[in-house]
Amino acid sequence: MEIILKQGKERSLLRRHPWVYDTAVHKVVGHPAAGDTVAVKTKDGRFLAWAAYSPKSTIRARVWSFREEDVIDERWLETRLRYAVEARRSLHARTSAIRLVFGEADGLPGLIVDQYGPYLVTQFQSAGVERFRGVIGEILMKLTGARGVYDRSDAATRQREGLEIRSECLCGEEPPEEIEVVEDGVRYGVNVRVGHKTGFYVDQRESRLAAQKLAEAFRAEHGRGLRALNCFSYTGGFSLALLKGGADEVISVDSSQEAIEMAKRNLRRNDFDESRAKFVCEDVFSYLRTLREAGETFDLVILDPPKFASNHHHVARASRAYKDINLNGIRLLRAGGHLFTFSCSGAIDVDLFQKIVAGAVFDAGSDAWALCRFGAGEDHPLMMTCPEGEYLKGLHLLVRP
CB of 226 to ligand SAH, least distance (A): 17
For residue 304, state whether it binds ligand SAH (rule: CB under 6 A).
yes
CB of 158 to ligand SAH, least distance (A): 20
When the beta carbons of 119 and 232 are compared against ligand SAH, the nearer one is 232
CB of 235 to ligand SAH, least distance (A): 6
For residue 66, state whether it binds ligand SAH (rule: CB under 6 A).
no
For residue 238, state whether it binds ligand SAH (rule: CB under 6 A).
yes
When the beta carbons of 9 and 187 are compared against ligand SAH, the nearer one is 187
d(CA 112, CA 108): 9
Interface residue with ligand SAH among 153, 204, 328, 341 (CB under 6 A) is 204
How are beta strands 47-53 and 59-65 bridged, if at all? Answer: antiparallel
Interface residue with ligand SAH among 10, 254, 299, 379 (CB under 6 A) is 254
Interface residue with ligand SAH among 64, 66, 234, 279 (CB under 6 A) is 234
CB of 285 to ligand SAH, least distance (A): 6
Give the residue among 277, 268, 280, 272 at the shortest CA–CA distance from 227: 277
CB of 340 to ligand SAH, least distance (A): 10
For residue 86, state whether it binds ligand SAH (rule: CB under 6 A).
no
For residue 340, state whether it binds ligand SAH (rule: CB under 6 A).
no
Size of the site for ligand SAH (CB under 6 A): 19
How are beta strands 59-65 and 19-21 bridged, if at all? Answer: antiparallel
For residue 151, state whether it binds ligand SAH (rule: CB under 6 A).
no
d(CA 51, CA 35): 9
Residue type, 349: D
When the beta carbons of 201 and 272 are compared against ligand SAH, the nearer one is 201
When the beta carbons of 130 and 203 are compared against ligand SAH, the nearer one is 203
H helix and E strand count, the chain: 11, 20
CA-to-CA separations, 74 to 77, 81, 119, 134, 359, in angstroms, rounded: 5, 10, 22, 11, 51
∠ CA 54-57-59, rounded to 5°: 85
d(CA 134, CA 384): 30
d(CA 211, CA 132): 40
d(CA 360, CA 203): 25
Long-range contacts of 158-161 (CB under 8 A, 24+ apart): 158/124, 158/125, 160/56, 160/57, 160/58, 161/34, 161/54, 161/56, 161/57, 161/110, 161/125, 161/126, 161/127, 161/130
Site string for ligand SAH, 180-199 (x = CB under 6 A): ----------------x---
Site string for ligand SAH, 268-287 (x = CB under 6 A): ---------------xxx--
For residue 255, state whether it binds ligand SAH (rule: CB under 6 A).
yes
Could you tell me which residues are beta bridge partners of residue 41? 4, 47
Give the residue among 153, 210, 156 at the shortest CA–CA distance from 184: 210
Contact stretch for ligand SAH (CB under 6 A) within 10-18, 28-36, 102-110, 299-307: 299-307
Please say if 344 is a catalytic residue. yes
When the beta carbons of 122 and 341 are compared against ligand SAH, the nearer one is 341
User: Which entry of 171, 344, 372, 386 is annotated as an active-site residue?
Assistant: 344
For residue 232, state whether it binds ligand SAH (rule: CB under 6 A).
yes
Interface residue with ligand SAH among 30, 176, 306, 387 (CB under 6 A) is 306
When the beta carbons of 42 and 343 are compared against ligand SAH, the nearer one is 343
Dihedral angle sign, alpha carbons of residues 157, 159, 161, 165: positive
Interface residue with ligand SAH among 19, 50, 66, 201 (CB under 6 A) is 201
Dihedral angle sign, alpha carbons of residues 326, 230, 279, 293: negative
CB of 269 to ligand SAH, least distance (A): 15
Residues labelled as active-site residues? 344
Residues in contact with ligand SAH by the rule CB under 6 A: 196, 201, 204, 232, 234-235, 237-238, 253-256, 259, 283-285, 304-306
